[in-house]
Amino acid sequence: MQNFVFHQPTKILFGRETISSIGSESIVFGTRALLVYGSGSIRENGIYDRVMASLTEAGLEVIEYPGVRSNPVLSHVREGIRVAKEHRIEVVIAVGGGSVIDSAKAIAAGALVNHDVWLFFKGKKSVAGKLPLTCVLTLAAAGSEMNGGMVLTNDDLRQKFGTGNQHLKPQVSILDPEATFSVPLDYSVYGAVDAIAHILEFYFTTGDPTTPVQDRLMEGLVLNIMEACERILVDPKDYNARADLMWCATLALNGLTGAGLGPVGFPMHMIEHSLSALFDVPHGAGLSVVIPAWMTWRNEQNPLKFAQFARRVFGVLESDDRLAANQGIHSLKSWFKKVKSPVFLEDLDIAPSAIDDLAANAMDLARLWRLREYDQGIISRILQGCRRSGLR
**If you ran DSSP here, which 8-state letter would residue 45 be given?**
S
Measured from the CB of residue 317, what is the shortest distance to ligand NZQ in angstroms? 33
Which one of 67-75, 203-211, 295-303, 348-356 is the stretch in contact with ligand NZQ (CB under 6 A)?
A: 67-75
Q: First CA to last CA across the chain, in angstroms?
A: 36
Instruction: Give the CA distances from residue 20 to residues 35, 48, 49, 391, in Å, rounded to whole numbers and listed in that order.
Output: 15, 11, 10, 50
| E-assigned strand segments in the chain | 11-14, 32-37, 61-65, 91-96, 133-137, 149-154, 159-164, 172-175
* Residue 176 found at the interface with Zn ion (CB under 5 A): no
In terms of C-beta density within 10 A (0-12 exposed, 13-18 middle, 19 or more buried), how is residue 266 classed?
Answer: buried
* Residue 39 found at the interface with ligand NZQ (CB under 6 A): yes
Distance CA(160)–CA(277), nearest Å, equals 5
Measured from the CB of residue 270, what is the shortest distance to Zn ion in angstroms? 11
* Residue 278 found at the interface with ligand NZQ (CB under 6 A): no
Is the CB of residue 306 less than 8 Å from the CB of residue 289? no
* Residue 138 found at the interface with ligand NZQ (CB under 6 A): yes
Position 323: which residue type? L
Beta bridge partners of 11: 172
Residues for the chain: how many in total?
Answer: 392
* Residue 194 found at the interface with Zn ion (CB under 5 A): yes
Which one of 14-22, 94-102, 292-300, 311-319 is the stretch in contact with ligand NZQ (CB under 6 A)?
A: 94-102
Which one of 70-78, 109-117, 230-238, 256-264 is the stretch in contact with ligand NZQ (CB under 6 A)?
A: 70-78
* Residue 139 found at the interface with ligand NZQ (CB under 6 A): yes
Instruction: Give the CA distances from residue 116 to residues 67, 125, 127, 192, 361, in Å, rounded to whole numbers and listed in that order.
Output: 20, 9, 12, 33, 22
Considering only residues 141, 199, 355, 359, which one is a binding residue for ligand NZQ as defined by CB under 6 A? 141
* Residue 71 found at the interface with ligand NZQ (CB under 6 A): yes
* Residue 102 found at the interface with Zn ion (CB under 5 A): no
Scan residues 159-198 and list those touching ligand NZQ (CB under 6 A): 162, 179-180, 182-183, 187, 191, 194
Per the rule left: phi > 0, alpha: psi between -120 and 50, beta: everything else, 10 is beta
Measured from the CB of residue 283, what is the shortest distance to Zn ion in angstroms? 5
- Position with the least CB separation from Zn ion: 194
- Site residues, ligand NZQ (CB under 6 A): 38-42, 45, 70-72, 96-100, 102, 138-139, 141-144, 147, 149-151, 162, 179-180, 182-183, 187, 191, 194, 253, 269, 283
- Site residues, Zn ion (CB under 5 A): 194
